[in-house]
């Protein structure tokens, strides 16, 4: 069965960076784009960016340009999301998701809570 | 960016009630709209794609319709396990955007 398993919760001080992993299993990793979506406490979902493990094409929401890095490791079927220069308003649940169609996600990771606090 | 506005923001209904949630887009998006269900403490689950396509495994009491700028999600007979937040999302163009969510509670 398709599974996306994310790394554990992280706490970072303002200005630091965080790297979250998303390990895929149960399907051919290279065939599906992986998206990253975040959800601040009590807020709606916000798309951050997407990466294709097939050709390494990447797409970023404008607000994260320059702060967001997406990478893949095809040997372990893992996608990494790194966000730098963290601010308090980056405190959120970060989710990876598999895109079954362009920008439509059918399977999601369990989420990684990132807390930015001094 | 395309703005999606859901109404209501929350609702409380009884088991067996018919529930309708609306999603309006700031511009026409054809049928490039999906609906997600997010239960408390869980990741979102894709319910509907292409405005009206029920995902495999989703209960048949869920249905959706719409095109252009006006979309609806209907739960024909609300069940206790439908307690969740429902969000619409457009994939007409990037960036994909989501509605703010509708929280459904059971009376």
| Residue A113 near residue A12 (C-beta atoms within 8 A) | no
Among all residues of chain B, which has the CA nearest to that of A43?
A: B100
Chain B residues with a Cβ under 8 Å from any Cβ in chain A: 34, 36, 43-46, 49, 55, 87, 89, 91, 94-101
Query: Rounded CA gap, A18 and A64, in Å?
Result: 14
Among all residues of chain A, which has the CA nearest to that of B101?
A: A44
pLDDT at A107: 95
Q: How many whole angstroms from its chain centre is CA B104?
A: 11
* B43 contacts on A by Cβ (under 8 Å): 95, 97, 108-111
pLDDT at A100: 87
Q: How many CB pairs under 8 A join A and B?
A: 49
Digit-coded pLDDT (tens) for B19-45 = 999 999 999 999 999 999 999 989 999
pLDDT at B83: 97
B101 DSSP assignment = -
Nearest Cα residue to A89 out of A35, A21, A39, A30: A39
Q: Which residue has the tokens 């239960």?
A: B39
Digit-coded pLDDT (tens) for B40-59 = 989 999 999 999 999 999 99
Contact assignment for A45 to B44 by CB distance below 8 Å: yes
């Amino acid at each position: 069965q398709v599974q996306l398993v994310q790394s554990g919760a992280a706490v970072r001080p303002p200005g630091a960076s965080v790297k979250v992993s998303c390990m895929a299993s149960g399907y051919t990793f290279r065939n599906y784009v992986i998206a990253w979506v975040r959800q601040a406490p009590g807020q709606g979902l916000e798309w951050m960016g997407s990466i294709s493990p097939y050709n390494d094409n990447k797409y970023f929401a404008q607000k994260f340009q320059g702060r967001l890095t997406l990478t893949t490791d095809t040997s372990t079927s893992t996608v990494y999301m790194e966000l730098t220069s963290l601010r308090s308003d980056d405190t959120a649940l970060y989710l990876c998701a598999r895109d079954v169609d362009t920008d439509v996600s059918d399977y999601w990771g369990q989420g990684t809570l990132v807390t930015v606090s001094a | 960016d395309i703005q999606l506005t859901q109404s209501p923001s929350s609702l409380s209904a009884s088991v067996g009630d018919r529930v309708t949630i609306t999603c309006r887009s700031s511009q026409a998006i054809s049928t490039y709209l999906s609906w997600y269900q997010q239960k408390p403490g869980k990741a979102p689950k894709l319910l509907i794609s292409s405005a009206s396509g029920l995902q495999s495994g989703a209960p048949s009491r869920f249905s959706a319709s719409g095109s252009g700028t006006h979309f609806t999600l209907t739960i024909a007979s609300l069940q206790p396990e439908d307690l969740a937040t429902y969000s619409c999302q457009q994939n007409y163009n990037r960036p994909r955007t989501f509605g703010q969510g509708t929280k459904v509670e059971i009376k």
